[in-house]
Structure 1
Amino acid sequence: MSGIEYCFGTGDAAVNVWTSAADLDLGASGGTDAVGLDFDGDGRFDDAMWDSNADGIADLAALDIDDDGAFDHFYADPSGHGVWDRSVQPPGSTTDGGDHVTWTDGRGESRNVERWSPGLMTVAYQGDGVTDDAVIDVDHDRQADAVLIGGTKSRYSGMLVSGHPDVALVDSDGDGVLDATIGRGEPGFIG
């Protein structure tokens, strides 16, 4: 991996964006996937901005709080405003009794699903007992960012965006092209 983009901000103004060469290997890929930084001003580059999903954009801030050379705390920036205020477990961590993602089903009930692959977990979102839907956790904060609604021919027929969705993106004919958007309360909205 070459450059990693990362940003910092106050949450209510424009963010400052940087791109730096990756110089640390924090993930399982065996290649550099993070940028070493000095957040606490001690002159040591013992903190990092980590691109854990290899998309070229840092999705986790990794901090070595006790200066022992190991990253102890990880934070996500779910708002995209450069605040990095949500404490999260690093990808692959099971220190909290299991690696899971929390999602809200079609009836509004909060549920957990065990993570079995990077970012995509199958669930029965529609309440029909068939696990042909999937939740996606893009930013590794253990909260579902989108729900893919089951379809045919190994394609999903729709996508609900966010943990409590209010818009459905629909591919009604399974050709991979968006056919409709349906808002909460409109006929055909699943959720």
Structure 2
Amino acid sequence: MRMEYCLGDAEGSTTMWTAEPDVDTDADGVFDAVGLDLDGDGRIDDALADHDGDGLAELAARDLDDDDVTEAFFSDDGSGTWMLSVDRTGQVRWFGLDGVEQTGGPIVDLDADGQADDRLVDSDGDGLADRAFSGDTAHVDTDRDGRWDVRLSDGDADGRADSAAEM
């Protein structure tokens, strides 16, 4: 199955690519990723993977070779940017509003309304969600301990927070 992925350059233009997978990132014996040099180190030791089988890359892997550099995995945060640090399976750690640690994402059911329509963001790349967006509400972990500290609300739906409350 061919896989599609989109990459941008430093000037801001993007290009869609299609390629046959040639890397097995989940060790199941099936090629699920396209090998690339994403980090510019001159080695084809990075990959874009399609783990859900829809033909679109949703996981970026860096430094998969056997050198001394630690592997890193990223997912699209919902904006088209590979900034959400995840584990090998594409999961990020996060805490529900009940305080229970979970893995998943970047689209989850944070507000427990039965719909996975809330978006997680890991802006510092540590694998733990720092922000969560749920409808007209955002939750923010301000002290990097994994717990939501502030709830921002947009009551008039203009895209800007109208109120903030400590949690």
TM-score calculated relative to the size of structure 1: 0.49
Identity %: 31
Matched, 1:85 2:48: no
Aligned to 2:18: 19
Aligned to 1:68: 67
Give 1 or 2: higher strand fraction.
2
CA contact (8 A) 1:61 1:84 kept: yes
**Structure ID, larger Rg:** 1
Moved more, 47-56 or 5-14: 5-14
Relative distance call for 1:31 and 1:66 in structure 2 (3 A) is closer
Q: 1:102 aligned to 79, 84, 94, which one?
A: 94
Shift of 1:45: 1.9
CA contact (8 A) 1:62 1:71 kept: no
Aligned to 1:113: 101
Shift of 1:75: 2.0
CA contact (8 A) 2:46 2:62 kept: yes
What is the CA–CA distance in structure 2 between the aligned matches of 1:49 and 1:146, rounded to whole Å? 26
CA contact (8 A) 1:148 1:160 kept: no
Contiguous gaps of at least 5 residues in structure 1: 93-98, 120-136, 151-155, 168-183, 186-191
Matched, 1:165 2:128: no
Contiguous gaps of at least 5 residues in structure 2: 120-131, 137-153, 156-167
Relative distance call for 1:41 and 1:101 in structure 2 (3 A) is closer
Shift of 1:65: 7.5
Count the aligned residue pairs: 128
CA contact (8 A) 2:23 2:32 kept: yes
Q: Structure 1 counterpart of 2:108, which letter?
A: D
What is the CA–CA distance in structure 2 between the aligned matches of 1:76 and 1:45, rounded to whole Å? 19
What is the CA–CA distance in structure 2 between the aligned matches of 1:80 and 1:12, rounded to whole Å? 18
Runs of 4 or more above 4 Å deviation: 10-14, 147-150
* 3-state SS in 2 of match to 1:31: coil
What is the CA–CA distance in structure 1 between the aligned matches of 2:74 and 2:116, rounded to whole Å? 27
* 3-state SS in 1 of match to 2:133: coil
What is the CA–CA distance in structure 2 between the aligned matches of 1:8 and 1:45, rounded to whole Å? 16
What is the CA–CA distance in structure 2 between the aligned matches of 1:68 and 1:76, rounded to whole Å? 23
Shift of 1:20: 0.9
* Alpha-carbon RMSD: 3.9
Relative distance call for 1:13 and 1:149 in structure 2 (3 A) is same
TM-score calculated relative to the size of structure 2: 0.55
